């Protein structure tokens, strides 16, 4: 059986090894994973309580379209309910956007280097990804605007950008939108939005209200600590939500995920504490890198991308042997960088100590 020819160029996602396997191989009791930008504090304790309430309903299909969560999220975001679309993780929303708006012959513009699913989903639809080099780890919006033509259907903006952690400002995004034609959709992926403390960060929900070309993606996987449940959402014009609902699987946001997300959303104190601790962690890590004279991209999410000035895979391996899993920049296009998720204060301290050992720096 021959698959669609475009699939020849589509990479298969390579998951990390299961933690238990890593521990067994290394003969270590404890391994700290700071590789996937997960929340080191887990999720709100109220999530567990809410799940027991759902126990009696596990034989039933989920409520398609997540009406209760939709209502609560709409009121939290102060947008109307018909502007929200849920996905099995925001990964699935990336896929739904591509399925809804791309067909062969079209192009999608994105930064080089950014979250890889934009490119993968573009290729699956038989379209051309146009990757625009970044400037100092930040989207080059001028060059991206110039890359847009009559064939462009989607422009992806990852803000904060994964893997660099950089942001573009509200003003920069607004003047970018001013330069784009009406036939493009601008998808602003804000998976790390809740972590951002910089006042120049865009107020994208106000832009969505005014501009039907703007789609915002967010997720419950990061600050809400629900990555295992797979639930994310888009905020867009009602027309776009209606179109994407045609490709959406009817039960794509499962019953437990909907319940967990409602509980997580209601616990604002948990979110606020995570934001504060994350900022402290970034400051601690960046201060140490400054002291060592190592450069890094200014971090606005829950991870720091730093230049180790050594081959990244070697640094990754050295840290792994000490029981710390980070992300090597080698496969991401940054041969001497590593990306580390901000952990608890103890995990950050341990990371810096092991990094000093691997790079022969003063501890």
Cβ burial of 72 (10 Å; 0-12, 13-18, 19+) is: middle
Q: Choose, by CB under 6 A, the member of 34, 73, 91, 173 that binds ligand PMP.
A: 91
Residue found by looking up tokens 């601690």 in the block: 284
Considering only 86, 101, 115, 351, the residue that binds ligand PMP (CB under 6 A) is 115
Q: Which is nearer to ligand PMP, 91 or 354 (CB)?
A: 91
- Distance between first and last Cα of the chain: 57
Whether 359 and 314 have beta carbons less than 8 Å apart is answered as no
Altogether, the residues listed in the chain come to a count of 363
CA distance 130 to 107: 7
28 scored as a contact of ligand PMP (CB under 6 A): no
Query: Cα(300)–Cα(279) distance, rounded to whole angstroms?
Result: 8
* DSSP secondary structure of 241-280: HHHHHTTS-TT-S-HHHHHHHHHHHH-HHHHHHHHHHHHH
For residue 115, the minimal CB distance to ligand PMP (Å) is 4
> Among 37, 94, 67, 36, which Cα is nearest to 234's?
94
Task: Take residue 36 and report the two structure tokens written for it.
Answer: 């996937």
- Pick the stretch among 42-50, 86-94, 286-294, 353-361 that binds ligand PMP (CB under 6 A): 86-94
Site string for ligand PMP, 232-261 (x = CB under 6 A): x-----------------------------
One symbol per residue from 131 to 160: x for binding ligand PMP (CB under 6 A), - otherwise; what is it?
---------------------------x--
Q: Taking the alpha carbons of 45, 47, 50, 54 in that order, is the dihedral positive or negative?
A: negative
Nearer to ligand PMP, 118 or 358 (CB): 118
Binding to ligand PMP (CB under 6 A): which residues in 190-219?
Answer: 191, 219
User: Residue 152 or 162: which CB sits closer to ligand PMP?
Assistant: 162
Is residue 38 involved in binding ligand PMP (CB under 6 A)?
no
Does the protein bind ligand PMP through residue 89 (CB under 6 A)? yes
Taking the least distance from each CB to ligand PMP, the nearer of 37 and 39 is 37
**With binding defined as CB under 6 A, does residue 221 bind ligand PMP?**
yes
Which residues would be at the binding site for ligand PMP (CB under 6 A)?
37, 89-91, 115, 158, 162, 189, 191, 219, 221, 227, 232
């Amino acid at each position: 059986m021959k698959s669609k020819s475009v699939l020849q160029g589509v990479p298969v996602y390579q998951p990390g090894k299961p933690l238990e396997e890593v521990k067994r191989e290394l003969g270590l009791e404890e391994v700290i994973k700071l590789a996937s930008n997960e929340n080191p504090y887990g999720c709100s304790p109220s999530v567990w309580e809410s799940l027991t309430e759902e126990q009696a309903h596990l034989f039933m299909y989920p409520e398609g379209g997540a009406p209760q969560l939709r209502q609560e999220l709409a009121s939290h975001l102060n947008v109307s309910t018909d502007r929200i679309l849920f996905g099995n993780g925001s990964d699935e929303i990336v896929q739904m956007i591509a399925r809804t708006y791309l067909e062969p012959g079209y192009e999608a513009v994105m930064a080089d280097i950014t979250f890889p699913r934009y490119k993968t989903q573009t290729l699956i639809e038989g379209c051309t990804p146009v990757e625009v080099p970044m400037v100092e780890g930040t989207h080059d919006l001028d060059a991206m605007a110039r890359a847009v033509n009559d064939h462009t259907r989607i422009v992806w903006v990852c803000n904060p950008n994964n893997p660099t952690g950089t942001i573009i400002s509200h003003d920069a995004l607004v003047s970018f939108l001013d330069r784009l034609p009406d036939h493009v959709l601008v998808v602003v992926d804000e998976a790390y939005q809740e972590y951002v403390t910089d006042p120049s960060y865009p107020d994208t929900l106000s832009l969505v209200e005014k501009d039907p070309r703007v789609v915002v993606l967010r997720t419950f996987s990061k600050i809400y600590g629900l990555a295992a449940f797979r639930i994310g959402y888009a905020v867009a014009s009602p027309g776009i939500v209606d179109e994407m609902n045609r490709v959406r699987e009817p039960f794509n946001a499962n019953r437990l995920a909907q319940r967990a997300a409602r509980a997580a959303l209601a616990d604002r104190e948990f979110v606020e504490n995570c934001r504060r601790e994350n900022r402290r962690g970034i400051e601690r890590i960046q201060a140490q890198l400054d002291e060592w004279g190592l450069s890094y991209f200014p971090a606005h999410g829950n991870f720091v991308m730093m230049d180790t000035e050594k081959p990244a895979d070697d640094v990754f391996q050295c840290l792994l042997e000490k029981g710390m899993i980070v992300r090597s920049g080698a496969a991401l296009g940054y041969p001497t960088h590593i990306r580390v998720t901000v952990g608890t204060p103890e995990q950050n301290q341990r990371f810096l100590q092991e990094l000093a050992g691997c790079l022969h720096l003063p501890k």
